[in-house]
Chain A
Amino acid sequence: MKHITKDYPGVKALDDVSISFEKGEVHALVGENGAGKSTFIKTISGAITPTSGTITFEGKEYSSLTPHEAIELGIAVVYQELIQFEAMSVADNIFMGIDSESSMVINKAERNAKAREVLAQFDSDIDPAALVRDLSIANRQIIELAKAMVRNAKVVIMDEPTAAITVQEQKRLYEVVRNLKAKEVTVIYISHRLEELFEICDRVSVLRDGQYITTVDIHDTDRQGLIRYMVGRELTSTYPEKKPAGTEVVLEAEHLSGNGVEDISFKLHKGEILGFAGLVGAGRTELMHLLYGAAKKTSGTVKINGREVAPRNPGEGMKAGIGLIPEDRKFQGCFIDKPIFWNISISNIMELCRSGVIDRKAEMKQAQDYREKLRIKTPDLVQKASGLSGGNQQKVVIAKSLAALPDILIFDEPTRGIDIGARHEIYLLMNELAEQGKSILMVSSDMEELLGMSERLIVLHEGHKTGELERPEFSQEKVLTLASGIA
C-alpha cells in the first residue's frame, strides 16, 4: 500500500500512508482511536475509495478496489462488529456466496461435512448445523476465519478480535492466528491490547492522526515504546497515585443473590476504589445491576451507611445514593443523538424544573459546571454526544451520574474503547472523586487497569465470589487463578 490518502470534507482521515505487508507475517496495526486504522483497512477491503494513492497486491497495482475485487483477490476482513446471517446455520454462513457447489440444490449433509472439515483446521468442534446467533462471539470469529479459508484468502484482516472474548478464548484465537501464519496467510491484526501483540505479532505499524509513524519489528520495541509512538509523547505514570481510603464502611452487601450471582458479601469503604475482577460471564455487571436496582435480588441484604436498602428499580437505586456508569457507553450510558447538556441533565431533570418547566439557565449552568469539573473537551454544550471522542463521552456519562449526587459510583468498564491518553484522564477523575469522599466500585476486564487502580479486588467466578485481595497481594497470576475458579 503506497501513499494512501483519504480526505473527508474538512478532515484528512489518512494522510500519505504507505505500509507494506509481507506474505505469511502477522502484522499489527496500532494507534489511538481516530488514528486512521479503520479507514486504512477499509481502503484495502474496498469498503471505501482512497482519494489518492495506490494499492499493490502481488505485483499488480490498483488505484482502488471494490469489495468484490478485494474478495476475488483473497482479502478477507473479520470486523469487530461481526456481520453475519444470524438466523442461518454455521455451514450456510461459511459457504454463502460460493459457487463451487455442483448442483443448484444445496446438499445440506455435504455442506455440513465440508464445514466440519474446515472447522477442524481450527481445532474447533462447532456444530455446522448450529445457528450462528446461538454461538459465542469467539466461535463466531472462528466462523469468519473459516469463511476466509474457504475462499482461499491470502490476507486476513482482524479488527479488535479480542475485544469481547474471554481469556481462554483468546488463547485459542492466538493458536488460530499462528495456524493461519503457518499456511502462508498474511494477517493484519488490529488491537488496543498492546500486550497481546508481543505474543503473536511479527511486526507492528503505528498510525497517529491519520499519519504513518513507523513500522518496527516487535522484538525491537516494548510496551512503553509503542505507547510513545502512538501518543507521540511520554506517558509518565499510567496509573495516578491516590490517597488511601478511610475505614468507614459505606456499603455492605451480605449474602446477596439473584440475577445470576449467588451469595456475595463484601464491604466498601468511604473514598475507596474497590475493583471487581472476573472473566466475561462471571457476573460482575449482574452484581452491579443488583446493587443499583436494575435487576431483582432473590435474597441477601445491602446496607448503605448502615441502613438497609432494597432498590426495585434504578430510580430507587439513585435515591439510595448509587450512581452507575454502564459498561456499554453507546447504548446504556449515552443518549448518543442528544446534546451534551441534555445528557448531563437527564437523571436530575426534575430538580432543574420550576413547577414542571425546565429552567434552561440552571440546566446549562449545571452542564457548564461539570464540563469544567470533569474537563470535558467540547467547543459547545449543544453539540451531540456522538460528536465527542470516547473519553469525553464517558465524561458526559460520569457527569450524568454525578448530577444525581450519588455517594457511591459504579464504574462498569470505565475505559472500554477509550484511547490510552484519554484513559489517564478518566483514572485521574476517578481518583479525584474518591478523594472527594465518593466510594467507587469498578468492574473491568482490563487486568492492568484493575491492578493499577483498585485498592482492593474482589474476584468472581461463575456468579460466586472466589477471592478478595488486598493491594500488597495483587498479582496477575493470582487474579487469573481465582477468576478461572481453579483455586
Chain B
Amino acid sequence: MDAKAKVKRGELFSTLSMPVLLVILIVFFSIMSPRFLSPLNLTNILVQNVHVAIVAAAVMIIMISGGCDLSIGYQMSVAAVLVTKMLSVYNVPVFIAVIAGIALCSLLGTFNGIMAIKLKSNTMIVTLATMSVFQGISYLISESKTYHNLPNSFMYIGQGRIGGWLPINVVIMVVLILIVGFVMGCTGIGRKVYAAGDSPEAARLAGLPVAKIKVLSFTCAGILVGIAAVLLASRSGSADSGTGVGIEFTGITACVLSGVALKGGEGTLWKVIVAAFVLGVLSNGMQLINLGTYPQYIAKGVIMLLSLYLTNRNAQGM
C-alpha cells in the first residue's frame, strides 16, 4: 500500500512537472522584469508560439502513432511559399490560396505515411529523405524569392485582433488544440491511434487497420502543419523557403519534454502544449532580462535537462 501510494505520488509529480516548471519560470521572470506580466507581453508570448503549439500537436499525433517526422519544417516551407506566391503573384482569392496550402500539406503528410508503410522503414529515416524532397519542391515554387505584398485580409488571420485585443491566431490555436485534444482523448479514432503506436502487432491482431491509422495520422498532422504555415506566413506578412524550417525540432522537443514516448502510444496534448509554452516563455523571458545569446543556449539546455529530470523522476526512482 505504501509503495502504491509512492508510485501514485510519483505519477502525479511527473504529470505536474511541466505546469510546475512553467509557473516557476513565470514567477522568476516576473520578479526579474516588471514588464513580464504586462498584458502586452503575455499576448506576445501567446502570439509568438501559436505555430509552435500547433506543430507540437501535429508532432504529438505522429509520435503517438509510433512515428516521427523530420520533414515538418519543409512541409511548412512548401505550404507557406505556395500560399504567399498564389496571393502576391497570381492574386488568387485568400480563401482558395489558404485551402490549397493546407491541402498540399496534408498530401505531403500522407505521402510520408504511405512511403513509411510501403518502404517498411523507420519513419525518421523516411522523413529525412522526404525532407530533402520537400526542400526541393519549396525552392521550385519559391524560386528562392521572398513573397510579401500580401492582401490585408490574409494578414488579418495572423495579425488581426477581435475587439482590438484578442488575437485571431490565438483563437484558431485554441480551437485546434481543443479539437485535437478531444479527438485523441475522447473518440474511438483517437484510441485506435494510441493502440497502433503502443503495440502495432497487438493492435493488428486486435483487428485494427494499423497501416491505415498510421497514414491517417500523418495526414492529420499535415493538415495541422498547413494551418501553422498559413498562420506563420500571415503573421510575418511574408514567406520564403526558409519559413518554418527547423520548427520540427522545437515540436519534437516539446513532445519529448512532456513525456510523449518515442516508441509511440503515449502522450497527452495539454502537457505538450504546456511544454511548448515553457520553451516560449523561456525565450521571451530571457530577452526581457537581456541575457546574451550564448548564456541563452546554456539556460535553455539546463531547463530542458531539468524538465527531463522532473518528467522521468518516477521512472528513474523505480
A313-B209, A358-B186 given; A331·B201 CB < 8 A = yes
Q: Are A315 and B209 in contact (CB under 8 A)?
A: yes
State the CA gap A315–B208 with chains docked (Å).
6
- List B residues 160-208 near A (Cβ within 8 Å): 186-189, 191-192, 194-195, 198-199, 201-208
A313-B209, A337-B266, A404-B207 given; A8·B3 CB < 8 A = yes
What are the residues of chain A within 8 A of B209 when measuring CB–CB? 313, 315
What are the residues of chain A within 8 A of B195 when measuring CB–CB? 335, 338, 346
Q: Are B201 and A338 in contact (CB under 8 A)?
A: no
Q: Closest B-chain residue to A379, C-beta based?
A: B4
State the CA gap A391–B206 with chains docked (Å).
19
Does B1 belong to the interface (CB within 8 Å)? yes
What are the residues of chain A within 8 A of B186 when measuring CB–CB? 357-358
Q: Are B199 and A9 in contact (CB under 8 A)?
A: no
Q: Are A346 and B206 in contact (CB under 8 A)?
A: yes
CB distance from B88 to the nearest CB of A (A): 40
Q: Are A326 and B205 in contact (CB under 8 A)?
A: yes
Beta-carbon contacts of A337-368 to B below 8 Å, as 1s and 0s?
11000100111011011001110000000000
CB distance from B223 to the nearest CB of A (A): 18
Does B300 belong to the interface (CB within 8 Å)? no
CB distance from B64 to the nearest CB of A (A): 12
What are the residues of chain A within 8 A of B192 when measuring CB–CB? 346, 349
Does B265 belong to the interface (CB within 8 Å)? yes
Q: Are A315 and B198 in contact (CB under 8 A)?
A: no
Beta-carbon contacts of A44-65 to B below 8 Å, as 1s and 0s?
0000000000000000000000
A337-B198, A358-B191 given; A318·B6 CB < 8 A = no
Main secondary structure of the interface of B (DSSP, over half): helix
Q: Are A10 and B1 in contact (CB under 8 A)?
A: yes
Beta-carbon contacts of B64-75 to A below 8 Å, as 1s and 0s?
000000000000
Interface magnitude class on chain A:
20 to 34
Q: Are A356 and B189 in contact (CB under 8 A)?
A: yes
- List A residues 102-130 near B (Cβ within 8 Å): none
B199 touches which of A324, A331, A356 (Cβ 8 Å): A331
What are the residues of chain A within 8 A of B6 when measuring CB–CB? 9-10
Q: Are A335 and B207 in contact (CB under 8 A)?
A: no
A294-B205, A324-B205, A358-B186 given; A346·B4 CB < 8 A = no
- What count of chain B residues pass the 8 Å CB interface test? 26
Q: Are A314 and B204 in contact (CB under 8 A)?
A: yes
CB distance from A417 to the nearest CB of B (A): 16
CB distance from B120 to the nearest CB of A (A): 16
What are the residues of chain A within 8 A of B208 when measuring CB–CB? 314-315, 346-347
Q: Are A314 and B206 in contact (CB under 8 A)?
A: yes
A337 touches which of B2, B206, B265 (Cβ 8 Å): B265
State the CA gap A331–B199 with chains docked (Å).
7
Q: Closest B-chain residue to A360, C-beta based?
A: B186
Q: Closest B-chain residue to A329, C-beta based?
A: B202
Q: Closest B-chain residue to A334, C-beta based?
A: B202
Q: How many A-B residue pairs have CB under 8 A?
A: 84
Beta-carbon contacts of A377-415 to B below 8 Å, as 1s and 0s?
000000000000000000000001000100000000000
Q: Are B207 and A10 in contact (CB under 8 A)?
A: no
Q: Are B3 and A338 in contact (CB under 8 A)?
A: no
What are the residues of chain B within 8 A of A10 when measuring CB–CB? 1-4, 6
A10-B1, A335-B195 given; A350·B188 CB < 8 A = yes
What are the residues of chain B within 8 A of A356 when measuring CB–CB? 187-189
Q: Are A315 and B207 in contact (CB under 8 A)?
A: yes
What are the residues of chain A within 8 A of B4 when measuring CB–CB? 10
Does A333 belong to the interface (CB within 8 Å)? yes
State the CA gap A150–B186 with chains docked (Å).
58
What are the residues of chain B within 8 A of A342 when measuring CB–CB? 191
Does A11 belong to the interface (CB within 8 Å)? yes
Does A31 belong to the interface (CB within 8 Å)? no
CB distance from B86 to the nearest CB of A (A): 34
What are the residues of chain A within 8 A of B204 when measuring CB–CB? 294, 313-314
CB distance from B23 to the nearest CB of A (A): 27
Most buried by A among B6, B199, B207: B207
State the CA gap A356–B185 with chains docked (Å).
12
CB distance from A236 to the nearest CB of B (A): 33
What are the residues of chain A within 8 A of B201 when measuring CB–CB? 331-332
Q: Closest A-chain residue to B199, C-beta based?
A: A335
Q: Are A333 and B202 in contact (CB under 8 A)?
A: yes
CB distance from B154 to the nearest CB of A (A): 33
Q: Are B207 and A318 in contact (CB under 8 A)?
A: yes
Does A283 belong to the interface (CB within 8 Å)? no
Q: Are B3 and A352 in contact (CB under 8 A)?
A: no
A314 touches which of B189, B198, B199, B207 (Cβ 8 Å): B207
Q: Closest B-chain residue to A293, C-beta based?
A: B207
CB distance from A434 to the nearest CB of B (A): 22
CB distance from A439 to the nearest CB of B (A): 19
Task: Knowing that A331-B199, A346-B206 touch, tell me 15 more A-B residue pairs with CB under 8 angstroms.
Answer: A10-B3, A313-B204, A324-B205, A331-B202, A333-B202, A333-B205, A335-B195, A335-B198, A337-B266, A345-B191, A346-B195, A346-B203, A353-B187, A353-B188, A404-B207
Interface residues of B (CB under 8 A from A): 1-4, 6, 186-189, 191-192, 194-195, 198-199, 201-209, 265-266
Would you give 24 A-B contacts (Cβ < 8 Å), ordered by A? A9-B2, A10-B3, A10-B4, A11-B3, A292-B205, A313-B209, A314-B205, A315-B208, A315-B209, A317-B207, A331-B202, A332-B201, A334-B202, A335-B199, A335-B203, A337-B198, A337-B266, A345-B191, A347-B207, A350-B188, A353-B188, A356-B189, A358-B191, A404-B207
